[in-house]
Structure 1
Amino acid sequence: MDATKKIVAEVFNEIAEGIKSGSFEKRVKIGLTTFGSEHGVEEMIRAAEMAKSKYGDFDIILIGSKTERNFEVIEVEDAAEGHKKMVELLEKKEIDGCVTQHFDFPIGVSTVGRVVTPGKGKELIIATTTGTTSTNRVEGMIRNAISGIAVAKAVGIEKPTVGILNLDGARGVERALKDLKANGYEFEFANSLRADGGAIMRGNDILAGTPDIMVCDSLTGNLLIKIFSAFTTCGNYETVGYGYGPGIGEDYDKLVNIVSRASGAPLICEALRYCSLCAKNKVLLKAKDEFKKAKESSLGDIIEKLLAKDKPANKEEIEMPPKKVVTYVIPGIDILELENACKTLWRKGIYSESGMGCTGPVILVSDDDGGKAEYVLVEAGYK
Structure 2
Amino acid sequence: MSNMINKTISNVFLQMADILENGASMQRVPIAVTAMGSEHGEDLIYHAAKEAADQGLLVKLIGSQPLDYPGVEVVSVSSSEEGHKRLESLLDSGEALGGVTMHYPFPIGVSTVGRVITPATGKEMFIATTTGTTALDRVEGMVRNAIYGIVTAKACGIQNPTVGILNVDGARQAEIALQKLQAAGYPITFAQSRRSDGGAVMRGNDLLAASCDVMVTDPLTGNLLMKLLAAYTTGGNYESLGYGYGPGLGEGFDKLILIISRASGMPVARGAMVFAAQLVKGGYQKIFAQELAAAKKAGLDNLLAGLQKEKKGAEEPQEIKAPPKVVVTEEIMGIEILDLEDAVRQLWAAGIYAESGMGCTGPVVLVAEEQLEQARSILADKGYIGS
Same fold (TM over 0.5): yes
* 8 A contact 1:99–1:259 mirrored in 2: yes
Query: How do 1:229-268 residues align onto structure 2 when only pairs under 5 Å count?
Result: 229-268=230-269
- Out of 157-166 and 345-354, give the one that drifted further: 345-354
Shift of 1:249: 0.9
Aligned to 2:175: 174
Query: How do 1:64-103 residues align onto structure 2 when only pairs under 5 Å count?
Result: 64-70=63-69, 71-103=72-104
Give CA-to-partner distance per residue, 1:197-255, whole Å, 9 cap, x none.
11111111111111011111111111111111111111111111100000011221000
Aligned to 1:48: 49
Match of 1:354 among 353, 356, 359: 356
Query: How do 1:183-332 residues align onto structure 2 when only pairs under 5 Å count?
Result: 183-311=184-312, 313-325=314-326, 326-332=328-334
| Structure 1 CA distance for aligned equivalents of residues 236 and 43 of structure 2 | 20
Aligned to 2:345: 343
| Structure 1 CA distance for aligned equivalents of residues 341 and 305 of structure 2 | 21
Match of 2:375 among 373, 376, 381: 373
> Secondary structure of 2:296's partner?
helix
Alpha carbons of structure 1 residues 345 and 134: separation in structure 2 relative to 1, 3 Å = same
1:62 matched to 2:66? The reply is no
| Structure 2 CA distance for aligned equivalents of residues 312 and 353 of structure 1 | 26
- Out of 154-163 and 341-350, give the one that drifted further: 341-350
Shift of 1:303: 1.3
* 8 A contact 1:320–1:351 mirrored in 2: no
Report how many aligned residue pairs link the two structures.
370
| Structure 2 CA distance for aligned equivalents of residues 68 and 327 of structure 1 | 70
Unpaired segments ≥5 residues, structure 1: 15-22
| Structure 2 CA distance for aligned equivalents of residues 32 and 351 of structure 1 | 61
Give CA-to-partner distance per residue, 1:356-377, whole Å, 9 cap, x none.
0011110112334322221111
Aligned to 2:21: none
Give CA-to-partner distance per residue, 1:131-176, whole Å, 9 cap, x none.
1101111111110000000000100001111011111111111111
* 8 A contact 2:110–2:249 mirrored in 1: yes
* 8 A contact 2:192–2:212 mirrored in 1: yes
| Structure 2 CA distance for aligned equivalents of residues 230 and 323 of structure 1 | 54
| Structure 1 CA distance for aligned equivalents of residues 189 and 240 of structure 2 | 31
* 8 A contact 2:230–2:240 mirrored in 1: yes
Shift of 1:6: 11
Give CA-to-partner distance per residue, 1:286-329, whole Å, 9 cap, x none.
21221111010001121122222222633242222234122232
Shift of 1:280: 1.8
> Secondary structure of 1:114's partner?
strand
Amino acid at match of 1:298: G
Shift of 1:91: 1.8
Shift of 1:68: 3.0
**How does the TM-score come out when normalised to structure 1?**
0.91
| Structure 2 CA distance for aligned equivalents of residues 110 and 366 of structure 1 | 44
Amino acid at match of 1:353: E
Shift of 1:262: 0.3
> Secondary structure of 2:115's partner?
strand
* 8 A contact 2:25–2:281 mirrored in 1: no
> Secondary structure of 2:369's partner?
coil
Shift of 1:89: 1.8
| Structure 1 CA distance for aligned equivalents of residues 331 and 165 of structure 2 | 22
- Out of 203-212 and 311-320, give the one that drifted further: 311-320
Query: How do 1:33-44 residues align onto structure 2 when only pairs under 5 Å count?
Result: 33-44=34-45
